Chains A and B, each alone.
Chain A
């Protein structure tokens, strides 16, 4: 039992327990999955792992920092378009226009917006830095004004909506609703070839594991404690001599960078970036992954992205319209019964099994969980942000 317990993340982490879990996860992703899955399934998994990178960012900003980031699609899209434009230019070859720009007949040479993306040295950093810069500008304005909760969520969502409108409105330049597609190659790899797709899968896994380790390090450091503190009592943080606006801004900007990075990987893996992937609805879905997985633990946030998308694909293959209903139902169930997602529910079961009372938010809890189920956590400060 003790060794089995190590496999699940606990609220009082032990270094050895973490190493065991991390090693198991790395082995599963790097060795078992490539051996066990077909090319098609593996490429699907690569796509879900890109989503998991977004989810880690949401886990940081929302789970740890209490910022309900309802517009991550914007940053995902920026990263995707930066990479997509570069790949289109490379595919067209030197001197030729990418097909997408020829349809309107408006351009004879690369437009100014596209030109810098000819260089990988520009496109790659921009896929991460551009989302971070935009999040930085928005966050600096919003957090300094002490805009929180629903207002922040709506603002970030509106930005994702506006981005879609801009892309569709400039279809000669951006490919409009069709987006960028028909890619051939990614830094010398063919995006159609199955063997090269496997290499892409490994790249995604390594990036995901690195992002996870880095974010985990950040969360466990003093900065992570401060982020939780700023989430739960901004005034107390302020009157300890810190600027909570800056603390939150860092997490928000990093989450945007992760979404951008995910977008840049998504394009070669899936072969398309289009407005339908990054508008308001996809942005909300991103938050749902994290809510279902468990927003307070980064690993569960990432797992949520994979679990939800895996379920979505499997169920859609059987019942094409079934998924939407199930997703709605799942979301209701999570909010009502599992406010900390799957991860939180498993934590409760563990604590119940080890004889301790679940104290989800550290407060006083009824001594006996009602109806034999783990006591649902009362909406804490982070929960209120949802309401």
Chain B
């Protein structure tokens, strides 16, 4: 089932995107916990009730974490490029798009500082390289998602990145087509 409204929380979002699969996993976890509770008298002290109730990260949740890490790296490159006034107008829409992407995924972006480009041209090329890698990783993630709804969302994000990439200034030496 596809989500028809903005996602509220990551766990909630993925539960919705998984179309009930997450609920099934949680139910299975409860059954296992009941069995262990009755029969395992030598349970480790570290098996606290709260830890036992914490559902393990699903493959799709791990996928989202990976996408968020890659988004964070791309945003860091954009932030570094923003130091050049003439580059800002071209990358502002990209920054907005990626932050919106992270918002829908209900995640925090880890924007560790990226290397400072030497000049505006280098900044633009760093953005182009970073966005090209991000676009490919989004396509890959969309292909691997277990949830169809998550796949659709990630594919849409890849398409957004494709569009933004196409509007970046052409690389040096790329003249008008003959």
Verify that A and B bind, or say they do not: no
